[in-house]
Amino acid sequence: MSGIPRDPSAHSLADVMPSVVSALGSGPHNPLGIVPASDAVLVLIDGLGAELIRTHAADSPTLAALTTQMITAGFPATTATSLTSLAVGAPCSRHGIVGYSFRVSDDADDSPVAFNPLRWTLGSAEGPSALDRFPPQRFQQQPSQIELLAADGVEVTYVMREEFRDSGLTRAAFRADGVFRPAVSLDEVKQGVLDTVGEPSRRRRFVYAYYGDLDLIGHIHGPGSPEWLESLRSVDAFVADLATDLPRDCRLLLTADHGMVRADTVIDLDTTPALLADVETIAGEARVRHAYVRRGSEQDVLLTWQHELDGLARVISREQALDERLFGPDRAYADRLGDVIAIATGGVILARSEHEPMESSLLGHHGANTAAEQRIPLILR
């Protein structure tokens, strides 16, 4: 890696889009100091942690050379939260997508239900659709930065898998209409970008491109595995080609939504009776768990979880999380946080073999606030 990346604590993923909007002449706030341009391309590589680039620099020479700046993903370091924070330019305490899953009250009868915003489903990732019960643009009401661009006459293009076009998360986070170019492979992503900005235009243009296979392979095989390294090398070659082929006056930004750690210690919540006592719902993901407990038992559950998970996770109350501004400075969505929150340390995962068999079998995980999960690259060209 050329040089030492700047301290990532100064900026977060929520600073990226306001800076893009400013660089395109549509907004006043440019915390990243992006140079003005008439065209901008933002590429997000799911799961591309800065620490992973540093560790595997020999397999990602282009990424290692270009990653001279790091930012933080924001807490929790999980895709649904990060993508929404990116799109609206604010932490999850403001937009309300507070994790991989969490409990939320229904407007109709105020009965709380577990909700997965990544899949926009009820109960679990495999649960029934929540599109009718929680319409995306009502559930997340913060305006997106892309809406600001579109309203100001910027031509917006999305380059991503077809199934993401009208997903609940896309509609909740990005909110703005635009040209959609379906793309699965890295070659298709590159071509979609180049087809959009390759020729001169009188209009300002913004392209958002997303690629998720590196994250998927990391979950299944683990970061650093041969399969993951092969995918990393492909991403590196893609970045080298795209940086070379883009017009000189087009601004290129590349970042990620989180890093990843490999599971080495599995704590199964579903087979640990002490961790289930007085708990009504467990949500979140294997690196950050939210426990919603029977009223009046909050302190007992907190103490039990702290005892059972001593040395394995940092266990705090909802109020402590709010006081620490762990999820951001706002309290509007405090009721979506667990009464007890457990943040795994090291390579620990807090699995649920009975309720989340697929997720519990994965080797790669993210969500917590370790450097490996939080630090993400910010490439500006």
Residues β-bridged to residue 43: 209, 254
* The Cα angle at residue 73 between residues 10 and 338, in degrees rounded to 5: 115
Please check whether residues 209 and 316 belong to one and the same domain: no
Which pLDDT score, from 0 to 100, does residue 57 have? 98
pLDDT, tens digit (0-9, with 9 covering 90-100), for 145-186: 999 999 999 999 999 999 999 999 999 999 999 999 999 999
Q: How would residue 3 be classed by pLDDT, with cut points 50, 70 and 90?
A: very low
Give the span between the Cα atoms of 133 and 38, in whole angstroms.
40
pLDDT, tens digit (0-9, with 9 covering 90-100), for 340-368: 999 999 999 999 999 999 999 999 999 99
148 domain-assigned? yes
185 domain-assigned? yes
Contacts of 296 (CB under 8 A, 6+ apart): none
104 domain-assigned? no
What mean pLDDT comes out for the span 10-33? 96
202 domain-assigned? yes
146 domain-assigned? yes
Quick check: 6 pLDDT over 70?
Answer: no
Which pLDDT score, from 0 to 100, does residue 1 have? 36
Quick check: 26 pLDDT over 80?
Answer: yes
Cis-peptide into 377, omega within 30 deg:
no
* The Cα angle at residue 209 between residues 203 and 211, in degrees rounded to 5: 170
Which has the closest alpha carbon to 155: 128, 138, 135, 179? 179
Give the span between the Cα atoms of 108 and 123, in whole angstroms.
17
Residue 205 · residue 196 · CB < 8 Å: yes
CATH number at residue 278: 3.30.1360.180
Which domain range does residue 250 map to?
8-97+140-260+370-380
Residues β-bridged to residue 344: 313
Please check whether residues 246 and 305 belong to one and the same domain: no
CA 105 to chain centre: 23
Please check whether residues 337 and 357 belong to one and the same domain: yes
337 domain-assigned? yes
> In total, how many domains does the chain have?
2
Please check whether residues 343 and 374 belong to one and the same domain: no
Least confident segment among 98-112, 246-260, 310-324, 346-360 = 98-112
- Please give the model's pTM, rounded to 2 decimal places: 0.95
Please check whether residues 156 and 200 belong to one and the same domain: yes
Please check whether residues 246 and 345 belong to one and the same domain: no
Mean pLDDT of the chain: 96
What mean pLDDT comes out for the span 133-145? 97
Rg of the chain on CA atoms, in Å: 20
pLDDT, tens digit (0-9, with 9 covering 90-100), for 68-107: 999 999 999 999 999 999 999 999 999 999 999 999 987 6
Q: How would residue 10 be classed by pLDDT, with cut points 50, 70 and 90?
A: confident
232 domain-assigned? yes
SS3 236: helix
Q: How would residue 108 be classed by pLDDT, with cut points 50, 70 and 90?
A: low
Instruction: Please name the residue that has the structure tokens 């969500």.
Output: 367
123 domain-assigned? no
Quick check: 41 pLDDT over 80?
Answer: yes
Which pLDDT score, from 0 to 100, does residue 107 have? 62
Which pLDDT score, from 0 to 100, does residue 111 have? 83
pLDDT, tens digit (0-9, with 9 covering 90-100), for 294-314: 999 999 999 999 999 999 999
Please check whether residues 87 and 160 belong to one and the same domain: yes
Quick check: 232 pLDDT over 70?
Answer: yes
Contacts of 159 (CB under 8 A, 6+ apart): 181, 183, 189, 192, 193, 196, 207, 208, 209, 210
Please check whether residues 277 and 354 belong to one and the same domain: yes
Residue ranges in the chain assigned as alpha helix (H): 16-23, 50-55, 61-66, 79-88, 92-95, 136-139, 145-151, 168-173, 186-197, 213-221, 226-245, 273-276, 298-308, 318-323, 357-360, 371-374
Please check whether residues 250 and 307 belong to one and the same domain: no
Please check whether residues 213 and 304 belong to one and the same domain: no
Please check whether residues 160 and 21 belong to one and the same domain: yes
Q: How would residue 4 be classed by pLDDT, with cut points 50, 70 and 90?
A: very low
Residue 50 · residue 377 · CB < 8 Å: yes
What mean pLDDT comes out for the span 202-207? 97
Residue ranges in 159-317 assigned as alpha helix (H): 168-173, 186-197, 213-221, 226-245, 273-276, 298-308
DSSP-derived secondary structure letter, 7:
P
Give the span between the Cα atoms of 66 and 270, in whole angstroms.
44
